[in-house]
Chains A and B, each alone.
Chain A
Amino acid sequence: MTSTSRPSAPHLYVGVAAACLALASFGCSFSDSSKSISDSVNHSSDSSGKSSDSSSSSSKDKQSAFADDVVQYTQAYVQAGGSAQSFFDGVGDLARKRGVSDWEAADATWISIGRGLGMTHLSDAELVAYEKAWAAGNSERMAAIQRGVAKVR
């Protein structure tokens, strides 16, 4: 099914002109199902209710979406030079948008923070400073953060 064909020149010009006209009229906006009765049920990949549905990404993958976002956020935050103090405001925002309320209680959150830290170019000393600041004396959180760091360093 591989294809690397280019569109023929006359076809391309007519198509580009038509697409430009249409784009000029309505731009890149596009409709969604947000006013459709389809949103009365879930249409994400793993919403079928079939636990072994091979056509979908696994439930485990989807449940870890928040954890994955925390990894990416931690990395982006530290690389932008963020201080240790305001970091958790961002975690709270991420959690709120994904329907997670008690993110502190989940070990996975702290492991993700560790993974994000481990993916930065921090020196070992800087890394330890972040770990201590964010664990705030809680040995379980510190251990989880360090487990996350160890997964990627």
Chain B
Amino acid sequence: MRWALLALVLISGSSLARAEPSVDYLYIRANEGGSSGGHAAIRFGEWTFDFQHADGLLAMRRQDSGRFQYVYRMLENRGITLSRIEVTEDTYARLRSTFQQRFLVQERLDGIGKQVAEDVRVLEALGAGQQGGLPLEGVGFFFAEGATVPLEPVARAPAGSEPALRALRDRIEADRGPDALARRREEALAALAKLRTAPMDVGALAPDPRRWPLVEATFSRRYENALSALFALAELEALHPLRDDALAHAMPGDVGPALDPGEVARLREAAAALTGDLTRLSASARPDWGGAMLLGMARLCALDASIARGRLVLLDAYSTAAQTLPLTSRRRALLPALTREAEAQLDGARARFLAGSGWDEASFRELEEAGNHWIELRAAGARAGSSGRRGLRVEPGPLWPHAAARVEGLPAPGDPTPLAERLAAARTSAARYRAAMERVFGYDLLRRNCVTEIFRTLEIALAGSDRAPDDDLARFVRDESARRLGGYVHPTASGNFVPFVSSARVRARYAVREREDLPGFREQQVAEMEVREGRLRVALRESNVVTATAYRPDEQDGFFLFFTEDAGPLRPLLGALNLVAALGRSAVGLLALPLDGGRGLRAGLEGAFWSLPELAFQSVRKGTNEWVPPALRPPPG
């Protein structure tokens, strides 16, 4: 069994060289916590799509395929059964395009929900008068928290202030005329003066996963665009220096790695090209040009500072949504290895950017992200050696600088309708939108879950239209499914909504060319150890969390003693021992409640809960890992 598993790992690497198009259906085995019933996903090359149940809604998610496998197989120890469905080029393109478009529709619908909620927030801020304030992205690069919206012309800075921005302003005025900034300011003020504060008519918008939602920009979006433009123009006049807290620092005064003369020359070239792009942006018709201008100017200042210091100076790219993890002893021990991994990524991103030419925003953003990871880890390492006052910020990418700062002195829009009336309408609109989303995307265990929506999206692709389902269309879809995929799998019938059943159905009915069982991290490690050290010895050692070397009890996991996946008939016995141990841990946790904030009690109770299925021969938990070193990661299947 273990030999076969190891062979599968090796085979999985070779499959990457395939040339024919194929669609991969993934069944991800269960683990404790989320998705205890297993999970399902579908992969098209570099992208993996799945459906996530969060906040009562089932939302489509798209992830980089490498990251998807890292999270599930390495961090969560969950094996994946991959069924490779053979398709033609035409079918591949059709299915991939439908999944892509459904993802974009989902993203847009979520965005509309946020914008409708933002209408409420902005109207509340306006209603609060002098006490009102609004966080605005980009402002924090150059302005302090609580900056007043610059409605009046700003005094020009004396010579010597921010030379890169001064050169940019000179070029804008040379190209567009000396009154270019004043004209744009008038435009922004005029947009505010004629701005209607009416909320979006959500009644006219029926969320539909098959169709792009056509809506106009919301009031709050237009309002914030105008404010961003005013701040960008004020910065071009005042030439405030880039704020120190907008930069990524490992330690006070410390920035990024040193640059050689060739790299400095490349940064000069990039800065010159960026200046040209920003000059064009200053005349752009895009309504959100102000926010892009603030970010571009901040990057220009960072490039200028890098050139001046001979070290890479980067903007802080973590958003306010970043999690700050406490630096436990276990995490502190991981910091050196993580820092080395981040450094290797920074070296790669730096080489790619430096090998390019002109201003390449995509590769510069990658450099910013990799540099921020490296700097944040170094900062955490430095803090871990001192008082450890702050933890480690983490955030799934892509990272880019936001620099949100609260602004005050909000100008009233020109709309004469009372704000209170608009606010009530906006709140009603937000509630109606949420209700409409729940009707269409609300989670339902049997009818709308992570499996059913994959097959429904396949049906949308096969139908080739967004018309409402009827009997004729259903027949057409079944025929198309047979023709293109080799058979048909109903989204809900015959238990297909259960992840592992759907995986078996896919193999039984579709034209599956290949099945691969991709082991989770612990499973793979144990298989490799058995090859090296012998089965019995490894089985005994790795069967429990006390002597295991392929698993270290994670602070997030429930408490248990024995792994029961391979325990066979002994599973109920080991489950009973796990249950007793977990209850004991709960009792200790109860006593320690005032000291550990309930962590021990939680671990004990969760451990007891996940021992119960083991009493009935079912094993769910597999333990989790916070990080797996690159050398131990197998290639993705």
Give min CB distance, B48 to chain A, whole Å: 10
Q: What separation, in Å, do the CA atoms of A27 and B497 have in the docked complex?
A: 11
Q: With A36-B627, A37-B331, A56-B66 in contact, do A28 and B217 touch (Cβ < 8 Å)?
A: no
Do A37 and B636 have beta carbons less than 8 Å apart? Answer: no
Report the nearest B residue to A2, measured CB to CB.
Answer: B514
Report the nearest A residue to B216, measured CB to CB.
Answer: A86
Query: Which of A21, A48, A97 is in CB contact (< 8 Å) with B348?
Result: A48
Q: What separation, in Å, do the CA atoms of A7 and B51 have in the docked complex?
A: 25
On chain B, the residues within 8 Å of A76 by CB distance are: 101, 104-105, 211-212
Question: Which residues of chain B from 597 to 637 have any CB-CB distance to chain A below 8 Å in the complex?
Answer: 613, 616-618, 620, 624, 626-628, 630, 635-636
On chain A, the residues within 8 Å of B395 by CB distance are: 34, 39
Do A94 and B104 have beta carbons less than 8 Å apart? Answer: yes
Interface size class of A (residues with CB under 8 A): 35 or more
Q: With A19-B38, A26-B36, A101-B292 in contact, do A50 and B618 touch (Cβ < 8 Å)?
A: no
Binds A, one of B257-265, B363-371, B425-433: B363-371
On chain B, the residues within 8 Å of A123 by CB distance are: none
Q: What separation, in Å, do the CA atoms of A47 and B348 have in the docked complex?
A: 8
On chain A, the residues within 8 Å of B281 by CB distance are: 102, 104-105
Q: What separation, in Å, do the CA atoms of A5 and B209 have in the docked complex?
A: 34
Do B362 and A43 have beta carbons less than 8 Å apart? Answer: no
Tally of B interface residues using CB under 8 Å:
125
Q: What separation, in Å, do the CA atoms of A104 and B331 have in the docked complex?
A: 42
Query: Which of A31, A72, A100 is in CB contact (< 8 Å) with B100?
Result: A72
Q: With A6-B504, A72-B100, A73-B104 in contact, do A37 and B37 touch (Cβ < 8 Å)?
A: no
Q: Total contacts A to B, CB within 8 angstroms?
A: 289
Do B296 and A4 have beta carbons less than 8 Å apart? Answer: no
Give min CB distance, A133 to chain B, whole Å: 12
On chain A, the residues within 8 Å of B325 by CB distance are: 35, 37
Q: Does B187 contact A (CB under 8 A)?
A: no
Contact with A along B172-210 (1 / 0, CB 8 A): 000000000000000000000000000000000000000
Give min CB distance, B63 to chain A, whole Å: 9
Do A72 and B369 have beta carbons less than 8 Å apart? Answer: no
Do B338 and A48 have beta carbons less than 8 Å apart? Answer: no
Q: What separation, in Å, do the CA atoms of A30 and B344 have in the docked complex?
A: 30
Q: With A44-B66, A51-B348, A54-B16 in contact, do A31 and B34 touch (Cβ < 8 Å)?
A: yes
Q: What separation, in Å, do the CA atoms of A57 and B16 have in the docked complex?
A: 10
Do A12 and B71 have beta carbons less than 8 Å apart? Answer: no
Report the nearest B residue to A74, measured CB to CB.
Answer: B212
Report the nearest B residue to A99, measured CB to CB.
Answer: B400
Do A43 and B67 have beta carbons less than 8 Å apart? Answer: yes
B interface, CB within 8 angstroms of A: 8, 11, 13, 16, 28, 30-31, 33-39, 45-46, 51-54, 58, 64-67, 70-71, 75-76, 97, 100-101, 104-105, 107-108, 111, 211-217, 221, 277-278, 280-281, 284-288, 291-292, 295-296, 323, 325, 331, 334, 338, 341-342, 344-349, 351-352, 359, 361-363, 365, 369-370, 373, 376-377, 380, 392-400, 443, 445, 449-451, 466, 495, 498-501, 504, 507-508, 512-516, 556, 613, 616-618, 620, 624, 626-628, 630, 635-636
A interface, CB within 8 angstroms of B: 1-7, 12, 14-16, 18-51, 54-57, 59, 61-63, 66, 68-69, 72-73, 75-77, 79-83, 86, 88-90, 92-94, 96-102, 104-106, 136
